[in-house]
A and B are shown apart, each in its own frame.
Chain A
């Protein structure tokens, strides 16, 4: 009797899930930076629309976009713009990528509060992180060796910082992080090391800044103003190390995809953006 009950219950659940998967589910895939954000959106959305099912997975922006092109996901999350090559490939397969900006992300460069240096230009940052500038006195600090802290190569933040600060979005550039940079496995580890090490410099998403670290003011070049990594400066585009975060859909969003995209742009969706330490779009 008991066994039968379990069996029929299992059967009901199986068909229930199969049914849901058939009718009301979408796949969201892409940027690891955005996975937490995507999952937070999906959870909240599913709480309010229990019949719909949204699966969010990571893998990297490139992975997400290639799944969109091969039609194996409905929405791609990306922390970079789609490349021309990818658009051409998509067109070939009859997919029409549609870009929706959903949030902004600012990267803070941080040092120990005891460090005398409090502002740097992008060129100086490039020099420091590629290992050409090795001593703090070269950028106006005290005479001590610079300890470079970086995220591991599996981090989207690492890739973004390399492409945007070290290589200046120049695809022919061969700049790399100095081999002597310490690779730490999380933003929190960088925050801790910076807090305890007066010669360290590191970078991470704005959400991790605390009074134990000092965020460096950054200027595009020596003629520009030095700007602090604040939400306002990211929103008005003054802070130079910030990036938009995108969702890509196939053509204009429709049905459940549209419902979900609209949700991410709604007031509630943007509140989740702020809660996950990204910068909400000014609506």
Chain B
């Protein structure tokens, strides 16, 4: 009887485990099925390198280069801001902060992760956007920079908590060895701890970037959504995710526009898949 019960539970858990993979595969197949149809009318090269995104014109112009560049610009901007701050924060929490400050900081950062992105977007819209406009004397504050700053806040919790774990899991003997050789605390962190945790920190950065590139609501609210190839970070941009979110409502099911949005979904899926695999490779390198 007990064995039977154990067996049933094991099978149930197995089904749950398989289900999650099964759903990912189904989602990907559905994306492919819907998205690839667009290539009957546009060839993939023109789709990826076209400079005009006018999906509802006759005939539609479906070029997503401005959208890809928009996504990358916002992501790179957010990385430049969030990586140094995030890693420094992780070092402080893992190595320097005394017990109670450490607890406060850790829960504070977890709280940051709990803020819904639409709320961050809204706060950005009323505080950050006018500020960016005033500081840089721009015609509008709805720019890639505003998006990058806001997204940096969103990437930070991921980067800090995973990088902190990586630093924490370094064997104590490394640190003790460095101290025994007469290294100062900073020398130990910079020369010993950081290299030892580098693969974990890289994985943290990758996952943070993955979070940024998939973010939709906040960027849609504060980047201006102009489908133009950006020349500076102080220009409005339109990201891949915001395009899907903004246009899915109206796209007639089965139209080229609809298929094109799914094709954008495939592009996004491939980008974030590559980032996640990259992060995974770094994490595994650490274990061997």
Please give, as numbers and ranges, the residues of chain B lying within 8 Å of A70 by CB-CB distance. Answer: none
Residues 51-95 of chain B, each 1 if its beta carbon lies under 8 Å from chain A, else 0? 011111100000000100000000000000000000000000000
- Contacting residue for A182 out of B53, B56, B133, B225, CB 8 A: B225
B226 adjacent to chain A (CB < 8 Å): yes
- Contacting residue for A154 out of B220, B221, B227, B250, CB 8 A: B250
Q: A153-B250, A154-B250, A179-B52 are in contact. Are A144 and B225 (CB under 8 A)?
A: no
Number of A-B contacts (CB under 8 A): 67
Separation of A154 and B244 alpha carbons in the complex (Å): 11
Interface size of B by Cβ–Cβ distance < 8 Å?
Answer: 29
Q: List which A113-154 residues lie within 8 A (CB) of chain B.
A: 144-147, 152-154
Determine whether the beta carbon of A159 is less than 8 Å from that of B139: no
Please give, as numbers and ranges, the residues of chain B lying within 8 Å of A146 by CB-CB distance. Answer: 139
Please give, as numbers and ranges, the residues of chain A lying within 8 Å of B238 by CB-CB distance. Answer: 183
Determine whether the beta carbon of B236 is less than 8 Å from that of A182: yes
Determine whether the beta carbon of A182 is less than 8 Å from that of B246: no
Counting chain A CB atoms within 10 Å of each CB, the highest count among B130, B133, B139 belongs to: B139
B142 adjacent to chain A (CB < 8 Å): yes
Interface SS of chain B: helix, strand, loop or mixed? Answer: loop
The segment from A46-54, A194-202, A227-235 that touches chain B is A194-202
- Contacting residue for B225 out of A152, A196, A199, CB 8 A: A152
Determine whether the beta carbon of B247 is less than 8 Å from that of A182: no
Considering the complex, give the chain B residue whose CB is closest to the CB of A198: B139
- Contacting residue for A193 out of B55, B140, B227, B250, CB 8 A: B140
Please give, as numbers and ranges, the residues of chain A lying within 8 Å of B251 by CB-CB distance. Answer: 154
Determine whether the beta carbon of A183 is less than 8 Å from that of B225: yes
Determine whether the beta carbon of A185 is less than 8 Å from that of B246: yes
CB distance from A194 to the nearest CB of B (A): 11
Determine whether the beta carbon of B66 is less than 8 Å from that of A182: no
B124 adjacent to chain A (CB < 8 Å): no
Please give, as numbers and ranges, the residues of chain A lying within 8 Å of B226 by CB-CB distance. Answer: 179-183
Determine whether the beta carbon of B139 is less than 8 Å from that of A197: yes
Please give, as numbers and ranges, the residues of chain A lying within 8 Å of B53 by CB-CB distance. Answer: 179
Please give, as numbers and ranges, the residues of chain A lying within 8 Å of B247 by CB-CB distance. Answer: 152-154
B98 adjacent to chain A (CB < 8 Å): no
Determine whether the beta carbon of B54 is less than 8 Å from that of A176: yes
A63 adjacent to chain B (CB < 8 Å): yes
Q: A154-B247, A184-B225, A196-B130 are in contact. Are A145 and B55 (CB under 8 A)?
A: no
Separation of A181 and B247 alpha carbons in the complex (Å): 16
Residues 115-138 of chain B, each 1 if its beta carbon lies under 8 Å from chain A, else 0? 000000000000000100100000
Please give, as numbers and ranges, the residues of chain B lying within 8 Å of A182 by CB-CB distance. Answer: 140, 142, 224-226, 236
B233 adjacent to chain A (CB < 8 Å): no
Separation of A181 and B66 alpha carbons in the complex (Å): 13
Separation of A183 and B249 alpha carbons in the complex (Å): 15
Separation of A155 and B249 alpha carbons in the complex (Å): 9
CB distance from A158 to the nearest CB of B (A): 8
A105 adjacent to chain B (CB < 8 Å): no
Q: A154-B246, A197-B140 are in contact. Are A179 and B56 (CB under 8 A)?
A: no
Q: A180-B236, A200-B140 are in contact. Are A63 and B252 (CB under 8 A)?
A: yes
CB distance from B126 to the nearest CB of A (A): 9
Please give, as numbers and ranges, the residues of chain B lying within 8 Å of A63 by CB-CB distance. Answer: 252
Please give, as numbers and ranges, the residues of chain B lying within 8 Å of A199 by CB-CB distance. Answer: 139-140
Separation of A159 and B257 alpha carbons in the complex (Å): 15
A64 adjacent to chain B (CB < 8 Å): no
Determine whether the beta carbon of A179 is less than 8 Å from that of B250: no
B192 adjacent to chain A (CB < 8 Å): no
The 4 closest A-B pairs by CB, nearest first: A154-B250, A183-B225, A182-B224, A179-B228
Given A62-B252, A183-B226; 20 other pairs, CB 8 A cutoff = A144-B139, A152-B225, A153-B56, A153-B247, A154-B246, A154-B249, A179-B226, A182-B140, A182-B236, A183-B225, A183-B227, A183-B246, A184-B225, A185-B225, A185-B246, A197-B133, A197-B139, A197-B140, A199-B139, A200-B139
Instruction: List residues of chain A with CB under 8 Å of any chain B CB.
Output: 32, 60, 62-63, 144-147, 152-155, 159, 174, 176, 179-185, 193, 196-197, 199-200
